[in-house]
Amino acid sequence: MNVLFVLTSHKKLGNTDEKTGFWIEEFASPYYLLSDAGADITLASPKGGQPPVDPKSELPESQTDATRRLQEDSMIHEKLSQTKKLSEVDASHYDAIFYPGGHGPLWDLANDEDSIRLIESFYNSGKPVAAVCHAPSVLLHAKTSEGAPLVQGRDVTGFTNTEEIAVGLENVVPFLLEDELKSKGGHYRSADEWAAFAIKDGLLITGQNPASSEAVTEILLKELGLVKA
């Protein structure tokens, strides 16, 4: 079973002097859950090479068993340093696609033509498309084979407006994900702030926030017929 992980290449947090990137836990937990269950995982990003890490996800309070495992895993560090360019990825080689979050995807992957092409190819080929936290932004401009927004009429979730306000970035991000998913016709669903929440509608699997990465992956594991080791 081959799964494609797509990571952001964007490292600047809007007009601030702060950095962003992908959220470590949202990568580490899904990666190990899938890998331990037997999936062969390929990493890709818009620019290829080492994707930037959101420094806030490296803080002690953001660490989990999965992130601590990653810290000691030299093989995954090498793999991260050599992500493939999205433009060189062939969707036909994979059985599912997964997008970890972090704020980075709001600036690059949400509008990346190669990413949109891949999502549409996976979806229209009957393959699962999974994303967590801010990563459901990658679905905003993808369309069905009939030309409708991919999220239209679908139950979806992602980082809530109130969670964005809670982290003080509502005026820094290019858009509020909850609002944009609704504007594309998505049936937006959410749980309490910071609670784990994941939802599946057809081939789309989305998670609300960092706490939801494992829940998203559990759904994807079932979709792929994989059992955790």
Q: What is the CATH number of the domain that holds 205?
A: 3.40.50.880
| Distance in Å from the first CA to the final CA of the chain | 14
One-letter amino acid at 44 equals A
Does a structural domain hold residue 45?
yes
* Residue keyed to tokens 């594991």: 221
Handedness of CA 19, 191, 197, 59 (dihedral sign): positive
Which pLDDT score is estimated for 229?
43
Does a structural domain hold residue 86?
yes
> Is-contact 105 141, C-beta < 8 A?
no
Does a structural domain hold residue 20?
yes
- Under-50 pLDDT residues of the chain: 228-229
Query: Which domain does 56 fall in, by range?
Result: 2-224
Which pLDDT score is estimated for 29?
98
* pTM confidence score: 0.97
Does a structural domain hold residue 162?
yes
DSSP letter assigned to residue 96: E
Does a structural domain hold residue 112?
yes
Does a structural domain hold residue 229?
no
Domain count, the chain: 1
d(CA 22, CA 31): 13
**Which residue in 74, 7, 19 sits closest to 43, CA to CA?**
7
Which pLDDT score is estimated for 81?
98
Does a structural domain hold residue 89?
yes
Which pLDDT score is estimated for 43?
98
